[in-house]
Amino acid sequence: MIESEQSHRALRAGIRYLLKPIARILIRGGISWKEFADLGKGAFVEAASEDYGIAGRQTNASRVALLTGLSRREVARIRETQNSEHDGEEPELRETQIPRVLAAWHQDSDFLDQHGKPRELMKSQQAGEFGDLLKRYAGDIPPVAFTKELLRLNLIREQADKYVVLSRVFTPDLSDPSLLRQAGLALHDHASTVAHNLHNQREGGPRFERLVSNLNVSQETADKFHELLKTEGQQFLEKLDAWLSQHDQAKPASRKNRAVRVGAGIYFIQDSSNPGDQK
């Protein structure tokens, strides 16, 4: 069908535009096109396995092969490799747990002084002290390991028998591998929203996704806009973060009200190309 061919061409053009910045990340990170192809195969198998099963079960290998164009043997090999990799993984919580602890230290009234500022916290498990902060907001990460990481990243300072918070924001160092994981998470989150809005709108309706841009501004204006965004965007995100903290579930969620991850992201756009020019 002509309409189908047009949609296919539009999809290919959109994917090419999407992959260009990803290719830049991969090249700078020393990832070859062959490694990327292997990673792509794994992503295809995971997506087909998760999204096209019957009655909540994983999609069988034959259907995954049909959907992805891979052989059944290749699907089985990829699944076996993925299972072994996942079995050896430790959950990566730094990108979510550290910001959560820092935000709580700046928002939870139990850890604020009379002026609404974060207090110096005693090194104890008492209510309203440092150990209690980690117990409430650091999840199941061992307190000693979490504390060492906060000190190493210069997010807190040790002062006699207390800890002083030095920053509300956790920004990984450019040489820190977690920065790449965080970049992957950001791209995943935005792409997941786009995918939902394209194909799954019946599941709760479209998710909020808006942007503003202008194709005809000077570099000086772009710099001013960036500064405006850093100020206004940070304030808006802190407002959202405070709202989410107020609605954090204190107890494990029930099956009827399972815990889900929600959030929002704001990012600056500057590009010399026009997405509409991609063909």
121 strand-pairing partners:
163
Structure tokens at 33: 């096109």
Categorize the per-residue pLDDT at 142 as very low, low, confident or very high, splitting at 50, 70 and 90: confident
Question: Is residue 105 left, alpha or beta, with left meaning phi > 0 and alpha meaning psi from -120 to 50?
Answer: alpha
Q: What is the pLDDT of residues 72-106, one digit of tens each?
A: 999 999 998 877 665 444 444 455 688 889 988 99
CA 5 vs CA 10, 83, 200, 276: distances in Å: 9, 37, 22, 19
pTM of the predicted model, to two decimals? 0.60
CA geometry: angle 201, 206, 210, nearest 5 deg = 145
For the CA atoms of 119, 124, 125, 130, what is the dihedral angle to 10 degrees?
A: 30
Domain limits, the chain: 94-165
Q: What is the pLDDT of residues 249-277, one digit of tens each?
A: 765 566 667 778 899 999 999 987 665 55
